[in-house]
Homo-oligomer: A and B are copies of this chain.
């Protein structure tokens, strides 16, 4: 049995799993990391991988990271919601581990997992849209991940949907993820609670009395109970989601959209208004079929499973790549590489 390790590298946590060829997770670990420190995140990755490696024969190690990964699948070019800028993630983790890793965009990893083992099985042209803090996405064309010329295709979260709209972490205004993400849902609910506390009584109650106490789970719970304000928040965000899916369908005409990410756990609360908006907005409607809009099946494990499977695949189909240093670079040699102030070894 061939085992691979997949690591889901987020802003505030690292989750890793030992994954078999059928996409099953044999063992799993999680570690919290401060969002602002790539260094601490890299150390946390190395730690969880080392722990999972103990006592197992592992064929490949894959990292799925929330940001723009370059076409060499080595460097985190830019992460709108994290502090990472041109970070040589692959090299840094390989130095620590002493063996090769494959770096992939986290939405690409999740989409791959859904295509191989989840909601997108059997589809050749499919788009995964991960609705979490922001919006991640991945494009599968002809059954293969499409990465674009520079490796960073599938970032519709940063398509402008409102001229001069809300400011985005990417530096632009009016990006889709400012309207259709988990952050947008929470901002909508909190703003409502601030302006109209009487209408938001249930939301405030669940949030411990303060608008700042309201986040995703509270909004989902209130909406499930039928609270009109919470339902309205889902309708607004779901409406923006569906409009954006219609715009993506105009460009990509996929068979299916798989909606993943934390907010997708709200299921039909999000998908029903999204489908309604999609069917209202799709260009050429009435003369073309509607793409399916379905919820992801692998939940929070998708990133781990996909990163592992993509790394396994990469290890089986050798691609020309820069030689990987299979030695641990001594600390003294490594230091000058860092461009940011170094944390003491103790802090690691």
Chain B nearest CB, measured from A114 CB (Å): 16
Asked if A279 CB lies within 8 Å of chain B CBs, one says no
A159 touches B247 (CB 8 A): yes
Task: Chain B residues near A186: list those with CB within 8 A.
Answer: none
Rounded to whole Å, the gap between the CB of A134 and the closest CB of chain B is 11
Interface SS of A by simple majority: loop
- Interface residue? A7 (CB, 8 A): no
B149 near A291: Cβ-Cβ < 8 Å: yes
Residues of B within 8 A of A85 (CB): 287
Report the separation of the CA atoms of residues A86 and B161 in the bound assembly, to the nearest whole angstrom. Answer: 30
Q: Is A99 an interface residue (CB 8 A)?
A: no
Q: By the criterion CB–CB under 8 Å, are A154 and B78 in contact?
A: no
User: Is the C-beta of A155 less than 8 angstroms from some C-beta in chain B?
Assistant: yes
What's the nearest-Cβ distance from chain B to residue A173, in Å?
10
Contact A152–B253 (Cβ < 8 Å): yes
Chain B residues near A288 (CB-CB < 8 A): 68, 77-78, 150, 152
Q: How far is the CA of A254 from the CA of B252 in the complex (A)?
A: 14
A243 to B161, CA, bound (A): 11
Copies in the complex: 2
A137 and B250 alpha carbons, distance in the complex (Å): 10
Decide yes or no whether A329 CB sits under 8 A from chain B. no
In this complex, the interface size class of chain A, counting residues with CB under 8 Å from chain B, is 35 or more
Say whether A159 contacts B287, CB under 8 Å: no
A149 and B228 CA atoms in complex are apart in Å by 38
Give bound CA distance, A72 to B172, whole Å.
40
**Is the pair B149, A254 in contact by a Cβ cutoff of 8 Å?**
yes
Inter-chain CA distance A30–B175, complex, in Å, is 45
A325 within 8 A of B: no
User: Which of B77, B153, B246, B287 contacts A252, CB < 8 Å?
Assistant: B153
Measured CB to CB, the closest approach of chain B to A170, in angstroms, equals 5
CA distance A268 to B254 in the complex (A): 34
Q: Judge whether A156 and B250 touch: CB under 8 Å.
A: yes
Closest-by-CB residue of B relative to A76 is B287
